[in-house]
Structure 1
């Protein structure tokens, strides 16, 4: 800060400083013409020299001859001498051109008459006017412009946030630098102290070491030399440890014991660090180490042993390698440490702990054959994986498994345990039965009289615990007493008020239409990627109020397979009685249990109905099948619906005209030709037909949305469509291409487009089928019933599937006469869910088909060991063996034998069909289409099926008969069948199904990813 000014006295009030106190005012010369031009062209009015300098009122200072004002000089007449080049300082706003011109004009001519020297009058030179340079012409240092001080402005600047932030940043920087300086100083001081401390410690250690050496020398020195007189150091240590307690000083022995408890390991480590390596080997082979390892080996043996009477199910449930690893670390630390060090660093992808745990398990069976808990689980795993006897024996010799006979003995134990479980389950809960035929081809290489190739038909069954939807728990005994089923008094049980079943009600029709539109939207959202932004707003279920099965885990238990053919009436009765005998059910227990649902195909239900009719007068509950309530399988019905759709819309093979499933399957998708059509004697295979409908329907819906979209660029419109626009378009598509009404409208046109009409009917039938498929998967039994009511009518069409129509009609008729509780349990147990998760439901008969697959393809004995005794024993253990598979794979953290199954992408196939539909205008009205003359129109199965109700013979077997029987003797056979008699096309109607690994992909609980491996093993075993 500058010093404050001195306060003046009153006598100095009139004091005035001399004139030299202020700087001499710069002479203001008259502007030359050149300066005026320069100032005018560069607007120099804002120069700092434009403001006049205020002169002092004090007396003037001495004046020199060159301080006065000068008269204007005519620059043009001057002849200036050559001057040294001076620095050129341009003013603001001077551009480069003007500065250059001015600099050139300032060159002074030689021979000037002006006076040279340090005191040359500057006013006489034009440089002082044209170029206001800070250099004084009189000499001296350059004039430096002082900064103008503005205290108030500075204070205002300091109040700004920018100034404060800069101030804080500088303060923080200074504080950080100061902290670093102090830290470095502290570190240097600490390092100095540590060095001094380390030096003192080293000196102390050296002194202690020298002192210890002196003590060692005194231990073996004689007493004459002031030593202790021990013969050797080992003699001294043996005496100091006093293992045999010879010493008298108990306090010293206690001190030694305390020392060894805490420092024995460190002392031994120090000794072996100094000793040669061979001494360590001698120690490790000594009795103490062997004693320690023996103790830990005994601990491992106890860990892998089980108590007598332990169930195999409990052994599988408790199989956990991570828990075993923790126990081994705790009870055998030395063994675990040795194995860990020997195995080296963790450089392998294998998990070291799992390998070491397996090694310890292998050691346990060497100590005792009874310590084989690990090996028993691995043996069951190998058997469940389809390993042969030879492979199991190899693993047994390696210590990883028990021998094959031991595995079989444990399987027999598992079978007995499961049979006990079956009897206990049916005595606690209400259960249902499902059975199906299973066929085996027994091959014998060296045939003899009593051993030849033969084909056997048997039966496999399953016990299923029923779910009570009212109490939301597993149903118990007495939930459905026998009194809820009306007694059978006639051969044919009439159905009262069957007229209500002829057509769906108005309410059912509205709900079905809502469900169909929802299904239409769901398909296009799933297979057309440009609508994916609408998925999160799309409801997971249709808005229709239909009956939904609550997700729950269905308990099911396989029953022993039996060599009994179910295709006969006697065989069906014997199967029923045998199964109840295995379950230990008597008449009294069956009365306490209540009604028993029996699921199966149409043949099973038909045979049960005949058996009940034949034994309707029996008083025994078990023998009369009074407790049985048959229920046809929805999976077989689904296959029938698929075959109905494919057969009706297959088209004419090798036809040159587009349209029909044959054209899409063979010409577009280039797939193997299927056996389809109503004229075919062999039923079309379900799996390829199912997949064909799935791809074709998605393509038809995509093309229909494109046709009825208001925008020509359907793809661009779909990307920005709102949910309201999407709903409106879906409704328009449904009404124009997916209803019978749309078909009737097209049919009534002057020129009927047969290809378009056939396409509309196919869209309707395929959409019905796919709604049935998704409804089963979702467990929505209400939607399933809606489709069944429609299929019941469609299957009444001539030469289709009248037996399935009768089965649906009879089931619906029986249900409406049953109490509400029976209806609830009947419907809510028609599907099973083995996972308890949503969208994981499947049909009961499909569950049995999967059981048959595992029994036939995986667990059936090969060669001379194949027998029904083996199948009966192993069939009860199917889920136990699969549990062994999962337990071992989970313990070793290994995936299935293959990648996780995903449905192959079908977008290319869908796009291929959609483009063909667009190119051929299949779903657009073309009155003069050439193909209309070569394509046969398909039938409206709904319209044809309705006609059945108008026949005189319709539903005669379900009506009460008023006929009076009389004996007229022999009567000649009728020459021809009346036209009104319903001739059922029974040929090939029974749906045969052989499950494959692809079919198991629909079930999350099925380890279908293992099928390639397991089936290859089965084929290999058969070839051997």
Structure 2
């Protein structure tokens, strides 16, 4: 059969089949049916034509023909079938035709045969029969003739059918790719939108391919299922192959290549590697990957400016040091360490929009608050009100330290599901869920070091310019209607607050920064807390302080506090381990048992009450007073009780931040204030005072609620227990800038980084999406943390051997460094004296102008800003003098 005739057969068979008469109907004579033909005697003279609907098979005949076939087969056996076939062949030969001529005429090659209803019916019986697949398979691969041919397989129509199958499969696959391809298109302009980029995952696109390209999918699946790696499903491989085929069919069908191009560019693939992968049809070109970064940055800045119109927003920034490499050193072309600053804007769509009047209310409350600062009595009242909530959390932590011990084995404890073991309700926990996620937008990193007041003034203008506040109209709207919350470490916030003070007499609200409030980041506050504990309880290796724990647990490089590196992470782990070891030993003393497993016999309610006793007797200021006022105080036990109280307070704060309990964070502020005052950390003491002053004196209630709920911690996933402070989020962004998405090369300078960094949140989403879809998200992101139990057990043995927790009246502690001062109590006493409050009040008691003079040209404003920043030192002294 000619190939064009085979193609006609395929096309006819794929069309809808109309009705045709059944075999029992009366049919007209073939000669009458063909009477309108010009040359009825010559089929070969008929011109090529497409069959009309009346000439096609009727699907209604399918069941009838199958029933007829089954009925006939039931009346035949091997001999009768052979006789019938032989007689039929004899009849064909007697009529001058053979089987090829018969089949050719029946299958749409003879017009009279096409028009004859009986022949059409028999053709339907063949083409829709259940025997046809068997017939075709036998033609392709005939059974072996074991008797006559020595077991050899007849040749059959193997070569013909395989060539035909390739042709049919090729045609089907081409049509499937043409239909599937447009659904895998990611047009330019939409390929920088996170929602469009991640709207279809691998599973969704796989189902789409199975539906729109079933032939190609089945061919690949059946072929790859015989792989030696039978335990691995080939779905993702097939998905990738079909995506590559669609991309080769048309470069517009490019969803996966675009996603992979962004992913691989920021996973370290070189330009040469990109060219290779692009030639293979796996990714877009390296040039496209570079160009899309600029478009992503532009889209990100458009998104943030649009959302800033709809929702309130917060901004944080911090310094970043980036090394720039050169490959050919010249006088003007040298390696250098670039000093700049990175900023991030945070937006929560669930935050209530601040009213237009809050800006004016803030100015009025500030004016009143300057003349009505907090007093020592106010702070002590806040501390008394907060203590019950802090104490409740400390009791729960002590209880969990028991329940989580291997000796107690909570999983097999009789009351393990008792409500008495449940944690207390949070004071004011932020809601979780997808609708409460925080969105973050990185701004273009600026080559301005965060060193001087002038630098910070320039940075404020730089960030506002990037956010679209370039015209006088936009600045007036910002200064008179909006509120901007600036978050940063102590240095950043202190510099901004000083600028706010120095500009009190400037011409308008924008220049005076009246629209701004400044809040310290809680990560750096935690670091200051941990460093204070380190300084207070370091001691020596011969004592029972942190130095002894470092030696016992082989902890390296922890004897000196550090800002960079893993010091903070490591010291926090030590705080948890040492606190747990002490508390478990105190459980034994308070409960008067020899082993923690003996407490399994107690009820859940008894354990909870006993946890309260542990806190009361071994981790509270009351216990310290009891020891101090006794006739023969045990100074060694006193040191342990003081450590327990302070360490548990740190853990309370740490868990409050992780769980988003902003009420507990606020409850810890008076304790933090006393610690910083007693530990001579005046800067953070002032920061805590400023925050309390704002919450209780200078901010309208609406703004206070916004600060508590949206300006301390953020959650990017919406999951519980993964809240982080805003300055920690900024530090993670700086890590991405310096390490994760670092760009290297001779042309990497500040302009490129400014273009790249706003795209990082989008890049991060794409990378997480790809790794989640292909099952590689966990690698490198989640590490198995070694159990603390061995460390805790070793510490407990040391404490038990020295009978550290056994009360011994009159016991004397080692003098010198091994005797820690009660920093919190000293801080409270010092704060009550009023000297620190007096200096703080004096430093902030100033009158602010209320003028609104906006008749200044941009050039004059620029000159004024330059002169003003230079005048800061002239009016207020140098930065060193001001710090002093």
Question: Under TM normalisation by the shorter chain, which class is it?
Answer: 0.7 to 0.9
Q: Does 1:595 align with 2:483?
A: yes
Structure 2 match to 1:625:
513
8 Å CA contact 1:860–1:871 kept in 2: the answer is no
Distance 1:334 1:372 in 2: 21
In the alignment, which of 419, 422, 445 is matched to residue 561 of structure 1?
Answer: 445
Structure 1 match to 2:672:
791
Instruction: Describe the superposition over 1:573-597 as per-residue Cα deviations: whole angstroms up to 9, x where unpaired.
Output: 2222222222224125426862121
The 3 A distance-change label for structure 1 pair 914 and 631 is same
TM-score by length of 2: 0.78
The 3 A distance-change label for structure 1 pair 358 and 592 is farther
Instruction: Describe the superposition over 1:316-366 as per-residue Cα deviations: whole angstroms up to 9, x where unpaired.
Output: 223323333333333333323332333243652221222122111122222
8 Å CA contact 2:673–2:689 kept in 1: the answer is yes
Which is helix-richer, 1 or 2?
A: 2
Q: Aligned with 2:683: secondary structure?
A: helix
8 Å CA contact 1:832–1:844 kept in 2: the answer is yes
Q: Does 1:404 align with 2:282?
A: no
Distance 1:251 1:437 in 2: 88
Distance 2:684 2:425 in 1: 27
In structure 1, list runs of 5 or more residues that go unmatched: 1-196, 222-226, 468-472, 966-985, 991-1024
Structure 1 match to 2:198:
317
Structure 2 match to 1:474:
351
Structure 2 match to 1:512:
390
Instruction: Select between 508-517 and 843-852 the one with higher mean Cα deviation.
Output: 508-517
The 3 A distance-change label for structure 1 pair 937 and 340 is closer
Q: Aligned with 1:926: secondary structure?
A: coil
Distance 1:363 1:639 in 2: 54
The 3 A distance-change label for structure 1 pair 743 and 323 is closer
Q: Aligned with 1:438: secondary structure?
A: strand
In the alignment, which of 179, 186, 197 is matched to residue 299 of structure 1?
Answer: 179
Distance 1:546 1:332 in 2: 56
In the alignment, which of 618, 641, 647 is matched to residue 766 of structure 1?
Answer: 647
The 3 A distance-change label for structure 1 pair 257 and 630 is farther
8 Å CA contact 2:545–2:818 kept in 1: the answer is no
Once the two structures are superposed, the pairs formed by residues 56-455 of structure 1 within 5 Å of their partners are: 201=74, 203-204=76-77, 206-219=79-92, 221=93, 227-230=94-97, 232-243=98-109, 245=111, 249=115, 251=117, 255=121, 258=124, 262-263=128-129, 268-269=136-137, 271-274=139-142, 275-284=156-165, 286=167, 290-307=170-187, 309-312=189-192, 313-345=194-226, 348-455=230-337
Instruction: Describe the superposition over 1:746-802 as per-residue Cα deviations: whole angstroms up to 9, x where unpaired.
Output: 3344555433222222222111111111111122222212222112012112x6311
In the alignment, which of 549, 558, 565 is matched to residue 430 of structure 2?
Answer: 549
In the alignment, which of 741, 747, 759 is matched to residue 622 of structure 2?
Answer: 741
8 Å CA contact 2:676–2:684 kept in 1: the answer is yes
Instruction: Describe the superposition over 1:587-641 as per-residue Cα deviations: whole angstroms up to 9, x where unpaired.
Output: 2542686212111111121122122223333454443322111111011001100
Once the two structures are superposed, the pairs formed by residues 476-875 of structure 1 within 5 Å of their partners are: 476=353, 478=355, 481-486=358-363, 493=370, 495-505=372-382, 506-527=384-405, 529-530=407-408, 532=410, 533=413, 535-537=416-418, 543=424, 546-551=427-432, 552-585=436-469, 586-590=474-478, 594-652=482-540, 654=541, 657-666=542-551, 668-676=552-560, 685-711=567-593, 713-797=594-678, 800-817=680-697, 818-829=699-710, 830-875=712-757
Instruction: Describe the superposition over 1:917-971 as per-residue Cα deviations: whole angstroms up to 9, x where unpaired.
Output: 1111222333565764576532111222133235564323443699999xxxxxx
Instruction: Describe the superposition over 1:421-458 as per-residue Cα deviations: whole angstroms up to 9, x where unpaired.
Output: 11111111111111111111223343212221111121
Distance 2:379 2:771 in 1: 54
Distance 1:617 1:964 in 2: 10
Distance 1:843 1:567 in 2: 23
Distance 1:398 1:683 in 2: 42
Q: Aligned with 2:339: secondary structure?
A: strand
Distance 1:352 1:634 in 2: 48
8 Å CA contact 1:319–1:887 kept in 2: the answer is no
Distance 1:484 1:239 in 2: 95
Once the two structures are superposed, the pairs formed by residues 965-1004 of structure 1 within 5 Å of their partners are: none
Shift of 1:906: 0.4
TM-score by length of 1: 0.68
The 3 A distance-change label for structure 1 pair 536 and 464 is same
RMSD: 3.5
The 3 A distance-change label for structure 1 pair 768 and 423 is same
Shift of 1:913: 0.8
Structure 2 match to 1:53:
none
Distance 2:71 2:198 in 1: 60
The 3 A distance-change label for structure 1 pair 267 and 314 is farther
Distance 1:899 1:636 in 2: 24
8 Å CA contact 2:187–2:252 kept in 1: the answer is no
The 3 A distance-change label for structure 1 pair 717 and 267 is closer
Distance 2:386 2:101 in 1: 104
Q: Aligned with 1:954: secondary structure?
A: helix
Instruction: Describe the superposition over 1:693-747 as per-residue Cα deviations: whole angstroms up to 9, x where unpaired.
Output: 0000000001111112234x33342121123332343233223221223223333
Q: Does 1:905 align with 2:793?
A: no
Shift of 1:872: 2.2
Shift of 1:684: 9.7
Instruction: Describe the superposition over 1:792-824 as per-residue Cα deviations: whole angstroms up to 9, x where unpaired.
Output: 012112x63111011101110121112222211
Q: Aligned with 2:343: secondary structure?
A: strand
Shift of 1:496: 2.3
Distance 1:775 1:812 in 2: 18
8 Å CA contact 2:185–2:252 kept in 1: the answer is yes
Shift of 1:861: 0.6
Shift of 1:461: 1.6
Distance 1:229 1:683 in 2: 96
Distance 2:565 2:95 in 1: 107
Distance 1:683 1:374 in 2: 38
8 Å CA contact 1:384–1:884 kept in 2: the answer is no
The 3 A distance-change label for structure 1 pair 873 and 751 is same
Instruction: Select between 200-209 and 581-590 the one with higher mean Cα deviation.
Output: 200-209
The 3 A distance-change label for structure 1 pair 332 and 826 is closer
Q: Aligned with 2:104: secondary structure?
A: helix
Q: Aligned with 1:687: secondary structure?
A: helix
Distance 2:406 2:140 in 1: 75
Q: Does 1:884 align with 2:766?
A: yes
The 3 A distance-change label for structure 1 pair 285 and 836 is closer
Instruction: Select between 837-846 and 895-904 the one with higher mean Cα deviation.
Output: 895-904
8 Å CA contact 1:696–1:913 kept in 2: the answer is yes
Q: Aligned with 1:503: secondary structure?
A: helix
